[in-house]
Amino acid sequence: MFLKKIILPTVTGLILIAVTILLVFLARGYSFDFQKKTVTETGLLLVNSIPDGGLVFIDDKPISLATNGSLSLVPNEYHLKIQKPGFFTYLKTVKIERELITRVDALLIPIFPELKPLSLTGAKNPIISPDGTKIVFATEVDPEKGLWILDLNEKPFGLTTRPSRILADDAASTKGEDGFLYSQAIVSFSFDSKKVLLENVPSPSGKTASFLLDLQSHAKEIVSDVNTIKSLWLKEKQLNQEKLGEGLSPSLTERIAGLLDLSFSPDGNWILYQVQNGQSKEFKILKIKETINNKKLPAEETILVTANFASLFWFPDSTHLLILEKKPANDKQGTISLLELNRENKTKIFEGIVLGQTIFPYPSGSRIAILTNFSPESNQTNLYSINLR
């Protein structure tokens, strides 16, 4: 009776306390070395990858860990390597500190990415919406002439949508009114990405008109004052920039004023901009950091300096930049690469004909779209997707 009432609960309580203390020490990064019979302070390395299932190497030694997983390591610098068949090797130097978690999120790029046509009857002058969810382009090939739209949002199971025509060219007059060739319009998006402005749309009779098109209802109206609409959209963009800049320190606000092609990352934590340095462009990023007084201060980092850059774009994960480099001798040839913000793991995605100065990442980050031409016997250009998963 005494054993049950006193000793057994006491022993049980001591065991629970010991287990709790052990779990706390393990959670804080301590481990027991059975060979040396000592307690070692460690840090935790958390390794994730997209796609998962990559083999993890520490200092070129394979370990029994596949992404996504964690590993306790003695505080030190280590060379991390992730390998997965069919994908480029991922390399990174990681610093492990005691009782801290070091997280690595690796984006593995396929060595031979899949290319798929998005348009089949030609694509010209593609333009992406400000929210990055749709592309409007023109087709001048019969019988598909007109303006088309491509939704970049993916459906369940990674399925994508096909382009659909939103306005067909109408060369013939109807009901006494002129038809219009919408495929030859100058197209611009509203800031909310819900409407497009079609400027200087010609008609077979030689007249021109401008239209405002609602992308949801496909209703259009003739516009007499284009400049008023464009000024309104520009004001909306400026107000949004001001909203993104709320809470910035006065020094940072002054610093970014007047910068060329100022662009906030999708998560709002970085600013990408460029400055002209002689004949070359210098691309830089600013990391926005919270301080004690809730003001955001930057840490500047130069990405690259080169005269061959055409464009830099934010990747949807806000931790990578898409780079389009053009060869000076032939502006049709281009190289598309993906670069981490710390300038590591620059990985080539595509090299070949890339028309224009723009590439179009899907919001999911699983694909990018390009305008290209794979047939030397035809001048017809089309949109293609490059699958990154």
The mean pLDDT of 344-365, rounded to a whole number, is: 91
| Pair 140, 219 in one domain | yes
pLDDT in tens, 70-119: 888 899 999 999 999 999 999 999 999 988 899 999 999 999 999 999 99
Which residue range(s) make up the domain with 6? 2-107
Segment 256-306, tens digit of pLDDT: 776 767 888 998 888 888 877 777 777 888 887 665 555 666 666 666 656
Last residue of a domain, one of 107, 139, 171: 107
Based on the structure, what is the number of domains in the chain? 2
Question: Are 61 and 190 in a shared domain?
Answer: no
Let me know: does 212 contact 197? Beta carbons within 8 Å.
yes
Conformation bin of residue 350: beta by default, left when phi > 0, alpha when psi is -120 to 50: beta
Cβ(213)–Cβ(167) below 8 Å: yes
**Prior bond of 68 cis (ω within 30°):** yes
Query: Does residue 183 surpass a pLDDT of 80?
Result: yes
Question: Which residues, in sequence order, are CB contacts of 46 under 8 Å at separation 6+?
Answer: 69, 70, 101, 102, 103, 104
Would you say residue 252 lies in a domain?
A: no
Do residues 99 and 167 share a domain? no
pLDDT of residue 176: 47
Task: Say if residue 226 is in the same domain as residue 368.
Answer: yes
**CA distance between the termini of the chain:** 66
6 and 78 share one domain: yes
CA–CA dist 311, 281 (Å, integer): 10
CATH number where 92 lies: 2.60.40
Reported pTM: 0.82
For residues 341 and 368, state if they share a domain.
yes
- Kindly report the number of other CB atoms within 10 A of residue 303's CB atom: 19
Q: How far apart are CA 379 and CA 266, in angstroms?
A: 36
φ/ψ of 286, rounded to 5, equals -120, 125
In a domain, 53, yes or no: yes
H helix intervals, 181-221:
none
Q: What is the mean pLDDT of residues 236-243?
A: 83
pLDDT at res. 304? 64
Percentage of residues in the chain with pLDDT exceeding 70? 80
C-alpha 145/C-alpha 140 separation (Å) is: 5
Q: Give the domain-ending residue among 83, 107, 131.
A: 107
Within a domain: residue 295? no
Mean pLDDT of 193-208: 92
Locate tokens 């993104």: which residue? 244
pLDDT value of position 173: 56
Say yes or no: 69 and 185 in one domain: no
Q: Can you give the pLDDT at residue 211? A: 95
Q: Are 96 and 126 members of one domain?
A: no
* Residue 268: inside a domain: no
Q: Which of the given ranges, 22-31, 132-141, 319-328, has the highest pLDDT on average?
A: 132-141
Q: What confidence score (pLDDT) does residue 225 get?
A: 93
In a domain, 29, yes or no: yes
Cis (ω within 30 of 0) for the bond into 143? yes
Measured CA to CA in angstroms, residue 80 lies from 98, 104, 111, 255, 376 at distances of 18, 9, 20, 37, 43
For tokens 């890339």, the residue is 354
Asked if the structure places residue 263 within a domain, the reply is no
Handedness of CA 107, 245, 135, 164 (dihedral sign): positive
My answer on whether 223 and 122 are in the same domain is yes
* Alpha carbon distance 361, 154 (integer Å): 12
Could you tell me which residue, 121 or 31, shows the higher pLDDT?
121
Task: Please identify, among 76, 107, 138, the residue that sits at the C-terminal boundary of a domain.
Answer: 107
Whole-angstrom distance, CA of residue 110 vs CA of residue 151: 24
257: in domain: no
* DSSP for 45-81, written as a single string: EEEEEESS-PEEEETTEEEEEESSEEEEE-SEEEEEE
Q: Which residues contact 233 (CB under 8 A, 6 or more apart)?
A: 188, 190, 191
Mean pLDDT score, 14-20: 64
**The pLDDT of residue 300:** 67
pLDDT of residue 47: 93
Residue 105: closest CA among 365, 376, 375: 365
Residues 87 and 120 in one domain: no
- What is the rounded (10 degree) CA torsion for 285, 79, 348, 363? -60
Q: Does 81 share its domain with 147?
A: no
Asked if residue 301 belongs to a domain, the reply is no
H or E stretch covering 19: helix 8-27
Closest CA to 383 of 193, 111, 50, 161: 161
Task: From 283, 282, 258, select the one nearest 272 (Cα to Cα).
Answer: 283
